[in-house]
Amino acid sequence: MSDKKLWAGRFSEPTDAFVEAFTASVEFDKRLAPYDIQGSIAHAMMLAAQGVLTEDEKNAIITGLTAILQKVENDEFEWSVQLEDVHMNIEAALTADIGDAGKKLHTGRSRNDQVATDVRLWLRHELNLIDAELDRLLAGLLDIAEREADTILPGFTHLQTAQPITFGHHMMAWYEMLERDISRFDDCAKRLNQMPLGAAALAGTTFPINREHTAQLLGFSEPCRNSLDAVSDRDFAIEFTAAASILMMHLSRMSEELIIWSSAQFGFITLSDSFCTGSSIMPQKKNPDVPELIRGKSGRIFGHLMALLTLMKSQPLAYNKDNQEDKEPLFDAVDNVKGSLKVFADMIPAITCRPERMRAAALQGFATATDLADYLVRNGIPFRDAHEVVGKSVAYCVDKGCDLAELSLDELKQFSDAIGGDVFDYLTLEGSVAARDHIGGTAPNQVRFAIEQARLRAEAKHAAS
């Protein structure tokens, strides 16, 4: 196969060797090959239907491209840096294989609309894989939430004990975060699904193309409506990395909690050995490497978002070579989001809860102080006064080194005579969580209701797809 540049007609000197390597993208854009070929086949079919290519030419192109795809998949295709990018490598190989018909494939298109189409086709496919991993993670969260709907742990604000909550409720908070992430990706997939092909270099083409036909062959909802916009904008990539950044921020927060909970000091959960590693020097260590790494990876995804925003911010219309820099951040974001989701979805079902440790922690730090205040309010004390009474009772407990529930009725009564023997029903952890019995509250039956609703939404989604 000749490495002669496909655009060398007007050039009299060869490209500087370093510039050739510096401007080439084939090293990374070769992963778009299957989508490049898919786009080219659809383009050739449309051209033939419009009478721009003959049936024979179209058939030769399709056979040739299919053979090239086979070679690419078997890792037998020879990529050449001289041929710059995935598009020209494939076109040159096609022409070498089938002759002149190969040279006609590029009629009515440009690499500018070609690459914009390839990236969209690729990202659309990857979004489906990401969606599937997210669904798997969500299903795992529902199972653990159900299993631990009654398990009580301290809920925190400022990482200080606030009020008792149920572990199931905490898992369902994660669920909500991730369900919003899915809807952000779905939204991205909708806007992504317009087809750039036909925009050609920037202004459209003089050939009698049928863009609706190509769009239909490639499963796009419609052709992009403006040729300049079609070849130049990469906002779909920015939108993806923005949604990916928010997802990674969520995974990072979840990771942080897993790390804290699995420490010896908290001991709320045990992570399965398969997601931890040891230390080469400290034999006692079991480090939560997987959540730590995911927490760390969030940073590089945020970085890719910044890279893509900066890449686009000063570009005049239409295509500029700057856009070649969209691929590496986008590829890396997709790879790391997929990897992080896969490992998270595997790790969550393998968590072991330690309810006795959670309970012991919930019994420290006066987690039911608000319940005592609410009790006083129900017995006619204004909330501000009740707050004061409870504050004094807590100070008394701090001095004595005990919890509110451990005080005798007489001791409690010295702070307010509105306190009766029934107060102990409210000072218990079970009483505290059960009392928060409304939509979105931590009561075990509300957690079960939230799980049931989430299952219905998941079923509806699968029925619709």
**Which residues are at the interface with ligand ARG (CB under 6 A)?**
25, 29, 85, 111-112, 115, 319, 321, 323-324
> Minimum distance between the CB of residue 326 and ligand ARG, rounded to whole angstroms?
7
Place of tokens 């911010």: 313
| Long-range CB contact pairs, 270-277, < 8 A, 24+ | 270/351, 270/352, 270/354, 271/347, 271/350, 271/351, 272/347, 272/350, 272/351, 272/352, 274/350, 275/343, 275/346, 275/347, 275/350
Q: For the chain, what is the total number of helices (H) and then of strands (E)?
A: 20, 6
Whichever of 29 and 133 has its CB closer to ligand ARG, that residue is 29
Whichever of 153 and 330 has its CB closer to ligand ARG, that residue is 330
Whichever of 25 and 336 has its CB closer to ligand ARG, that residue is 25
Both structure tokens of 71? 């070679």
> Minimum distance between the CB of residue 29 and ligand ARG, rounded to whole angstroms?
6
* Residue 52 per-residue DSSP state: S
> Minimum distance between the CB of residue 69 and ligand ARG, rounded to whole angstroms?
19
Whichever of 112 and 340 has its CB closer to ligand ARG, that residue is 112
Q: Helix 111-147 vs helix 167-192: angle between axes, to the nearest 10 degrees?
A: 160
Query: What is the secondary structure of 390-446 as a DSSP string?
Result: HHHHHHHHHHHT--GGGS-HHHHHTT-TT--TTHHHHHSHHHHHHT--STT---HHH
> Minimum distance between the CB of residue 224 and ligand ARG, rounded to whole angstroms?
16
Which residue in 204, 155, 139 sits closest to 457, CA to CA? 139
> Minimum distance between the CB of residue 110 and ligand ARG, rounded to whole angstroms?
7
* Cα dist from 149 to 8, 361, 428, 451, whole Å: 68, 18, 17, 10
Whichever of 25 and 442 has its CB closer to ligand ARG, that residue is 25
Query: What is the secondary structure of 289-315 as a DSSP string?
Result: HHHHHHHHHHHHHHHHHHHHHHHHHTP
Both structure tokens of 259? 């790390």
- Please return the burial class of 275, using the count of CB atoms within 10 Å of its CB with bins 0-12, 13-18 and 19+: buried
Whichever of 5 and 359 has its CB closer to ligand ARG, that residue is 5
| Catalytically active residues, by annotation | 158, 279
> Minimum distance between the CB of residue 112 and ligand ARG, rounded to whole angstroms?
5
Whichever of 5 and 253 has its CB closer to ligand ARG, that residue is 5
Is-contact 200 110, C-beta < 8 A?
A: yes
Whichever of 324 and 393 has its CB closer to ligand ARG, that residue is 324
Place of tokens 């990072």: 252
> Minimum distance between the CB of residue 312 and ligand ARG, rounded to whole angstroms?
13
Q: Which amino acid is at 244?
A: A
> Minimum distance between the CB of residue 7 and ligand ARG, rounded to whole angstroms?
8
Query: What is the secondary structure of 183-232 as a DSSP string?
Result: HHHHHHHHHH-EE-TT-TTTT--SS---HHHHHHHTT-SEE-S-HHHHHH
- Cα separation, 455 vs 449, whole angstroms: 10
Instruction: Give the 3-state secondary structure of residue 160.
Output: strand
Q: Taking the CB of residue 157, how many other CB atoms lie within 10 A of it?
A: 8
